[in-house]
Amino acid sequence: MHGAGNDSSGNWFPWLKKELEKKGYLVWVPDLPNPDEPTQDEWLKTIFSHGWQFDSGSVLIGHSIGATLILRILEKLPEEIKIDKAILVAGTLDIGTNSAHFIYKRGLVKEPFSWGKIKKSAKEFYFIHSDNDPYECDFKHGEVMQKKLGGELIIKKGEGHFNLEKESEYKQFPFLLELLEAFG
């Protein structure tokens, strides 16, 4: 799931899709509507109206507010469905203090999270953050998610927001591929 101000062709998403498909994975990288002013209802409608089947073999990967979207997806899954893994890259849980980013975050963080339901909807959680994220999506959010959901918090040094902005050049994300391959 891409973040705000982005689409399926941005950052490392096409590269990861191609690499996973080479390994036989079925991959869907949706274009979420109104990426410059995302809303929870629109994004969830897009995900659930597509007909994608979530099951015990599903791995969800999200970047930035797309990681937050994964939390919302897990809240909405039927009780009997539990995905395999949720990998949240630079996920955020609140609006933050930078007014320039309020509009990107407010649509998915305005309501409290149903932590118990989220935890029941995935077998494993991975939270990947940088120690210098400029968009207030730093590792403190990962620490909260890990405390609420369990899982593994991975903090990378100097990786910014894991995107194509000036602080880094993320056209590829080999660490994600290595993490997925480590699953077996």
Question: At 175, which CATH number?
Answer: 3.40.50.1820
Residue 152: beta bridge partners?
126
pTM for this entry: 0.93
Say what the pLDDT of residue 182 is: 87
Residue 125: exposed, middle, or buried by beta-carbon count in 10 A (0-12, 13-18, 19+)? buried
Say what the pLDDT of residue 17 is: 97
Domain-embedded: residue 7: no
Q: What single letter denotes the amino acid at residue 32? A: L
10-residue mean pLDDT series, the chain (184 residues): 92 96 95 91 95 94 95 97 97 65 62 95 97 87 96 94 74 92 77
Structural contact between residues 147 and 127, judged by C-beta atoms closer than 8 angstroms: no
Domain-embedded: residue 1: no
Alpha-carbon gap, residue 114 to 152, rounded angstroms: 19
Say what the pLDDT of residue 10 is: 92
**Enclosing domain of residue 156:** 13-21+28-50+57-182
Domain-embedded: residue 2: no
